[in-house]
Structures are given as C-alpha cells and as structure tokens.
Structure 1
C-alpha cells in the first residue's frame, strides 16, 4: 500500500532506518498512513519508498550527517518529530529530537535503556527488582563472578538485542565459553553502534513476558498489552514465539504494573511506546531489560490483531506531540511462532499447506540453499519460517499454530552424509 497523501505543507515525521520488510514493513506502513514520513537510511529500500513521502540516503552511524539531513528537512518542509523502531538508532533519534526541541525522551534516558550495564546500575540504585549484574573484562574474571553469584548465570553483550550472544552457564568452563560468545556476538550490524562489554548476571527462574507500554509523561503509563514469550532450548534464549491476549489477567497484575512503572521512572523515560521485558520469578516480577522503542518480532502486529490498538500509530503520534488513540476496539488473541531447523545443514526445499481466515500470515524466512543451524546453537538468524494466527483465546491460537507447523515441511541436507525431511 503506497503512502497516504498528505498536504505538502504538513511537517514531516523523520523515521530513522527502514529495517526488514518482513519484520518491520507493517510498522512503516502504519506510521506513513498517519503522518508524512521522511525516511533516512543508508540505503533506502524500494519497498519503503512506497510508504515514505520522501527518502534521503544518510549514514546513520554519522551523527553529524544525520543532523545535517534533518536540519535541511526542517528548513525546507518542517519536521514535527523524529522516530525509529530500530535498536541501532534509538539514541540518535533522541539526540536529533532534542536538538530540534521536538517531543521525545532525553538522550540520557534512551542511552540508559540501550546500555544494559547502565540500566542495571540505575535500577539497582532505585531498588527496582532486577538481576544482580557485573561488567566483566575477561573470561577468568567472569568465572570468578560466577562463583560470587552462585548457581546458574547468564552472560550477555552490554548493548545488543534479539538475545544475540546471550548464554546460560552452569560451570566455570561454560562461563568462559559464554563470555567469548557474548564478547564476539553481532546482529545485523547492531554492534557498530553498541557499547562494547560483557555482563554476567544471576539466572532468573520463571516464564518471560514483555509489557508493551505507552508512556504519556513521567509516571503516566498505559499498559497496552502483555506479551507471553516462548523461548527455545537453553543455554541460548532464542525466542520461538509470542502471544498477546486482550483479556490476559496479567494486564491487571499490580506487581507487574508497579515494577514496570518503577523501571521506567528509574531510567528517566517520559514518552513513547516501550517494550519492557520481565521474568516472573518465584520472588515476583523482575526486570530483564527496557527497550526504548517498539517491540520487534511482529509483537506490535499481534497487539493490533488482538486489541485493535495500533502501536506504530501511537508511537508516531507521541513523536509529533499528538494525542494517541488508546481505546481498544476488539478483544481476541493473536500469536506468532518461529520455526527452527531440526538439523544443521542446507535447506533444499520447502512447502506449506494451510490456508484459513485465521492464518494472518505464513512466510518462509530461509530460502533453499540457505545454511541453518539447529538448536541449541541456533540464533534468530536460523529461523526458517514464521506463522501468525488469531483466535478467540490462547489455547485456540496454540492449536492453530501447531496445525500450520504440522502441515508445513522443510527438507534439509545435513552437514553429515544423511538427509532429513522435517514435516
């Protein structure tokens, strides 16, 4: 769908980075339907140009180049706000908005979200339930801190996303190996704008959720949805799916609300749509991390399907200082599942066989010829397909996802001499 026509005198909403059409295309489409978009990207893709009022080729790792481009747009057409849904550019977006005195969070607050070490420090200082965490410079120091923490530990990069480089470790040798994995991790070039370093943290038992928050001011938070998250085999923490239920009882859980609000306050967040990850431990909810952007993995799309709330619209409205629509218009469940390979090898063929009104989308994300790694070594780059379904309740969504998976097949030639066909 092309961009919605807007008056040529309407100020622009600057969007930093298009991202992948599969994972972010819906967000840009919804944002452009609400506001005229000026897309800044190193290489604006053709699909994104269909939605943007205009595009500019800009190296977004060069702060001065981005500032010059936005200042030129402001002088020529006017700029009403700056927004990104990509982790790479959240700090840059805050700096540009601050430079032009536009709505948004302070750069310091966004930097506190991006830097997991700084996040933990601020949460700890404010007594917000989180995980004990230490910044470690080498594998041997990590092994020493693991003894201090006791029990299983988790090692992770200081400033990446998507569970890249995150590993559980139970023994000193596993700690050393996990340190190397975290230190060397990368994801879609995100490491180019990341603060380097490795954290070692206590392992938090319990299911994982995320709280999709609309922040309307300091201390004023609307919880739009709670996302139930499904993880693959440890020691990795690869997300294999998500579910949003408009009637989820966790939406009214006072402990979850309190810890989420306390975390946002501690980090200085005052505006925007944020994705707050939480573990529901036996001792109560504890913060994993706070992301100063829309969630990834199609979660805002699930929220829209389940509740009618359009988080990309809401984020765009807040970025330009407009009042967002926060009234849900429907009540059902929506879920996504990411398929992972059963064996490590090269994909030779794929097929799918479900067509139903409740199947919102099914897409192969790995084509024949692609090499994929099976769990537990898999990362999100090894996902082979995604399926999004709707239903009246979570149980129906789970049944429908399983039906889609059962009727979809992939043939993988293993790295060994035998072949495998997984239905």
Structure 2
C-alpha cells in the first residue's frame, strides 16, 4: 500500500530521490520555489519561507490534514531547521528542533562535538567586525572563516593575510554572502586543518548509526575556496583506518543527538589524527547516494524512506566496486555559448550518468560574488580508487564549455 511522504525541500540534483520514493509512495512537497520537474513526481505542494517556522508548520499540518501524511524526509540543507519543528509537532521519526538547530549552527555543532570528546578544529563564533578581527589575530597565519549556517562550502574561505585592511575586506565579503543566504551576520573563525579530506555516508535508526561508505576526496582542498571536486568511495583503507573513521562517525552523530534519518559527515586526516569538520542530518549531495548503492549495494534512498516511515532499515553491505562523483566547474567568468561532447562521454565504459544543470546562455559568476558555481556532475564506476578518479578527470576534461 502506498504511503504519503512529506518532502522537505528540493534541489537541482535531487531528481533521483524523487524518482525512487515516488515509485512506491505519494510525495507531498514543501518548497521555497514553484515546482518544475518535480511535478512529474508529486501529488501536491505548498510554497513556504524556510525562515518562517510557524507558517512552514501550518503548511505541513494543512497537507497532513488533507492527505494523512505518514512520514517526512529532509531533502535539502536549508530545510533542516524547520524540519525539526515539523518532526516534533507531527511526531514523525526524524530530528527534533534542538537537534536540527545543532546541525545547522556550526558553532553549536562544534560545542556538541567537544562535549562528547569528538576531535575538531579550534574555533570562535563572532557577531561583529571587531570580534572577527580579534578572533583572527588569535589564530595562526592561516585560518578558516565561514558562515555559521551554510552548506556546500558556500562562503567558506581560507585567510592567510592578517592585516586589518584585508580582514575588514574579508569580513564584509563573507557577511554579504551569509546574510543573503541565511539572513544572519554570525560567522565562525577556526583553525585551518591540513591533510586529506573525506566524507562518510550513514543512516541512523532509533539512535543506532549505520556507517555505509567512506568517500575519499582525491583532489586536495587547500583553499582559498573549498568547493568539493570529487568523491570516490575508497575500499583501500586498512581495517584499522575504516574502524577508526566509522567509530568517530558514530560518536559525532550521537553527540548531535540524531535519532533517525540520513547523515553526511566530513573530516580530515591531519598530522594530529582525524578531525571532524561538520555533519549534516541528510543524504550527501548530488549522486553520492547512487555511488553508495553501486559500491556497497545499499539503496540509501529506499532505506531513508523506510526510516521516515518508522521501518528499521535493512542493511547488508558488500564491497562490489569503486564508485565516485565529480562536480563540474569552469573557473572562468562569462556566458556559456555551447556545451559539447556530453553524449560522447556518456558512452564511455564506466560512466554511469552525467547531469548538466546549465544551458547555453548561462552566465558564470565566480566567488566572492557568487558561490553556486557547479555546472553539473559526472558519476562513474570502476575497479579501483585511482581508476575511477582518473576516469572522472578525463571525462571532465573532455566535456567542453565554450565561454
């Protein structure tokens, strides 16, 4: 029997979760924009303001009264905090308002981690320009500044110049972005962590954490901006390394209080050991869940759907193949005149999917003016970390954007 599931948000690369869940259940959508492609998968929707929790809750309760909603799923990061209000009010399995606030506010998240012994970078919350400059002067010559609530590395920057004039410039730059995105002027200043970055994809049911896969990020992320380029599921970690990474993941998600849902956690392997950067109570972005299914045989869309309906996920992992995702960027401003070779690359062995979110006529604007600079993604599979990484790189280089 089909169930009625409330989707909290949508996004450019979210079609696969709509497709998977919509094949078995009815989807009702809360979104901050008029649906387009989503109309192929949804039964009804309401337009909401994600900054207005009361009105968002009213919209959710209206859909619940009309259709009898059976559960809810967080689809996109901007909807996390309002999601907690909905889960609390309607009694669905998910995250509470307190937990959702911990997951959205990076300083509250850091405090939760510290209180539970999870290794993190040293950091300070700042509310004014003067506080920012004082915090910056306490840091080493290289440090990170980021919005207190953002996603996708939007507004995150590595700073290596501590002159007052430069710090004032950086502060104004990041504040303009974070207010536009989150209506907030609060920033986080923290130490820069050296070392390789990785992510862990997980599910949580009734407080039990199920880590599924470790994504390597083969391209070093050293700044000044930190846009993830590639995620490749890595089976080449030793058993000891995998165990340590998974144990830190469990500890971090429990520290945040996540009881039910999906999770995406990022950390760095530094010269002082593993350090957690942050965690999100949602699925990883883009085609990461699809890569997890190819690599270990677990359909994260379906299992997250089950969790939302109060059903214990069926987790049976097997190391099947290496799989990865590469985000497409072009670091040149201008108008795209043509996009070439996509169909040819789609035919290559190992290429599973290519999604281009822009069309000719799209204007590329780079940071600090604009942080939404991804043009699409490539999803590939293969026999090794290096093989998939090389394939993704060659595919990216072959796809041509005339700017």
The TM-score with structure 1 as length reference comes to: 0.86
Tell me, what secondary structure is at the counterpart of 1:381? coil
Summarize deviations over 1:198-231 as a string: whole Å, max 9, x none: 111011111111111211233x211111111245
2:178 and 2:185 in contact (8 A); partners too: no
d(CA) in 2 for partners of 1:342 and 1:72?
Answer: 45
Offset at residue 380 of structure 1 (A): 5.2
Deviates most, 161-170 or 329-338: 329-338
Structure 1 residue 118 corresponds to structure 2 residue 108: yes
Offset at residue 246 of structure 1 (A): 5.3
d(CA) in 2 for partners of 1:110 and 1:48?
Answer: 25
**What's 1:59 paired with?**
48
Offset at residue 251 of structure 1 (A): 8.7
Summarize deviations over 1:255-310 as a string: whole Å, max 9, x none: 32232222222221212111111111111111111111111132112212222211
Counterpart among 163, 170, 176 of residue 168 in structure 2: 176
- Unmatched tracts of structure 1, length 5 or more: 1-6, 413-423
Counterpart among 15, 40, 48 of residue 38 in structure 2: 48
d(CA) in 2 for partners of 1:88 and 1:36?
Answer: 23
1:12 and 1:78 in contact (8 A); partners too: yes
d(CA) in 1 for partners of 2:249 and 2:270?
Answer: 15
Offset at residue 361 of structure 1 (A): 1.8
**What's 1:3 paired with?**
none
Counterpart among 304, 307, 320 of residue 318 in structure 1: 307
Alignment RMSD: 2.5
Offset at residue 126 of structure 1 (A): 2.6
d(CA) in 2 for partners of 1:238 and 1:251?
Answer: 29
**What's 2:325 paired with?**
336
d(CA) in 2 for partners of 1:81 and 1:404?
Answer: 39
**What's 1:4 paired with?**
none
Tell me, what secondary structure is at the counterpart of 2:60? helix
Offset at residue 66 of structure 1 (A): 3.0
d(CA) in 1 for partners of 2:241 and 2:75?
Answer: 27
Change over 3 Å in CA distance of 1:285–1:360 after alignment to 2? same
d(CA) in 1 for partners of 2:78 and 2:229?
Answer: 23
**What's 2:215 paired with?**
227
Summarize deviations over 1:23-74 as a string: whole Å, max 9, x none: 111112112234322222244423212222x112231434333333333333
d(CA) in 1 for partners of 2:172 and 2:220?
Answer: 22
**What's 2:295 paired with?**
306
- Unmatched tracts of structure 2, length 5 or more: none
**What's 1:31 paired with?**
21
2:83 and 2:95 in contact (8 A); partners too: no
1:60 and 1:66 in contact (8 A); partners too: yes
Offset at residue 81 of structure 1 (A): 1.0
d(CA) in 2 for partners of 1:44 and 1:251?
Answer: 48
Structure 1 residue 90 corresponds to structure 2 residue 83: no
Offset at residue 329 of structure 1 (A): 5.6
Structure 1 residue 154 corresponds to structure 2 residue 144: yes
What pairs up with 1:187-336 in 2 under 5 angstroms?
A: 190-192=181-183, 195-218=184-207, 220-229=208-217, 230=219, 234-245=223-234, 248-249=237-238, 253-328=242-317, 331-336=320-325
Change over 3 Å in CA distance of 1:365–1:50 after alignment to 2? closer
The TM-score with structure 2 as length reference comes to: 0.90
**What's 2:382 paired with?**
391
d(CA) in 2 for partners of 1:154 and 1:392?
Answer: 36
d(CA) in 1 for partners of 2:362 and 2:266?
Answer: 31
d(CA) in 2 for partners of 1:15 and 1:384?
Answer: 25
2:147 and 2:155 in contact (8 A); partners too: yes
Structure 1 residue 403 corresponds to structure 2 residue 394: yes
1:317 and 1:324 in contact (8 A); partners too: yes
**What's 1:417 paired with?**
none
d(CA) in 1 for partners of 2:324 and 2:250?
Answer: 26
d(CA) in 1 for partners of 2:334 and 2:220?
Answer: 22
d(CA) in 1 for partners of 2:18 and 2:294?
Answer: 17
Number of equivalences? 396
Structure 1 residue 145 corresponds to structure 2 residue 145: no
Change over 3 Å in CA distance of 1:64–1:161 after alignment to 2? same
Structure 1 residue 13 corresponds to structure 2 residue 5: yes
d(CA) in 2 for partners of 1:307 and 1:330?
Answer: 5
d(CA) in 1 for partners of 2:221 and 2:383?
Answer: 26
Summarize deviations over 1:143-183 as a string: whole Å, max 9, x none: 32223222311000000111111111112134433322321
